[in-house]
Structure 1
Amino acid sequence: MKVILTHEVTGLGGAGDVVDVKPGYARNFLFRRGLATAWSVGAQKQIDAIAKNRETRAVKSLEEAQSIKGNLEAKTVTIKAHAGKEGRLFGAVSTGDIVAAVKAAGGPDLDRRKVEVPTPIKATGTHKATVRLHADVLANLTLDVVAG
């Protein structure tokens, strides 16, 4: 099934890309979250408009993403979470928690869907996460999870 991505989807493509996916994935994941629309002949105009907008913002957003990357990588973000005696968390640190902690530390507003955590954060200590700021720019975050 052909779909038009309206947002960037990790491992699939960026906004405006036409990709071929299985119908169940499109119906149950992409359409429900507003990440894609069904492809049709008339939708080609939408694809062209998205591509044109992306080209005009590309240089500006690349420079902005580079500066944000420098700011994010320069500081350690502290996250307070409920933990037991041995440092194990009650639950896990979510991407929403990470975005809120970055904002509280004076960082920029981030989209939680752009934050990628390689393994679930379920213990106190220092952890790593990445933020996809631009198609070519990945920022590495250092997270310090403390009991609170």
Structure 2
Amino acid sequence: MKVLLLQDVKGLGKKGEICEVKDGYGKNYLIAKKMADFATNTVINRYRSAQKKALEIAAEEKALVEMTAKKIAEITLKISQKVGANGSLYGAITKEDIAQSLLENHHLNIDKKTLELKNPIKSTGVYEVEVKLGQGICAVLKVDVEGI
């Protein structure tokens, strides 16, 4: 009997492959445990259309992430903070501060966990912060820290 694998099966094949198996193994194990389905034309067409739709959705999501990366790369985020006599900041600018400033000033909701900042910013100047947006896409955000 021919079955369409709905997930990877060790020793048999990977998800989406059509395999020839013995009737008992196919009906009593693979199909019963929802690891496979009968390889009829209807099932194969339904699986392929669902797979195609999933690829389209993934492409749309990637395009959205790339557009967000482009927006982030164009931004120079200005943050003002009180400065002491020696030029260092009172307090420090952290990932949370950068994410909050992005949301307030540019309406970009970026999770603080995606920001790559090794140490909090403790002095004025222009800093580059890497933003990992997922799907292998990164953007560099310029943060301009000014003293008040």
- Regarding TM over 0.5, the answer is yes
**TM-score, normalization by structure 1:** 0.57
What percent of counterpart residues are identical?
24
Q: Distance in 1 between matches of 2:56 and 2:91?
A: 42
> After the TM superposition, which segments of 4 or more aligned residues of structure 1 sit over 4 Å from their partners?
54-57
- Asked whether the 8 Å contact 1:61–1:134 carries over to 2, the reply is no
Question: In the alignment, what sits opposite 1:147?
Answer: 147
Question: In the alignment, what sits opposite 1:65?
Answer: 65
Q: Unpaired segments of 5 or more residues in structure 2?
A: 1-50
Count of residues in Structure 1 that have an aligned counterpart in Structure 2: 96
Q: Unpaired segments of 5 or more residues in structure 1?
A: 1-51
Q: Secondary structure at the match of 2:65?
A: helix
Instruction: Measure how far apart 1:140 and its partner are.
Output: 0.3
Structure with bigger gyration radius: 2
Distance 1:113 1:58, change over 3 A: same
From the two aligned structures, give the one with the greater helix fraction.
Answer: 2
- Asked whether the 8 Å contact 1:115–1:132 carries over to 2, the reply is yes
Q: Distance in 1 between matches of 2:107 and 2:71?
A: 8
Q: Distance in 1 between matches of 2:85 and 2:135?
A: 41
Instruction: Measure how far apart 1:56 and its partner are.
Output: 7.3
Question: In the alignment, what sits opposite 1:105?
Answer: 105
Distance 1:144 1:57, change over 3 A: same
**TM-score, normalization by structure 2:** 0.57
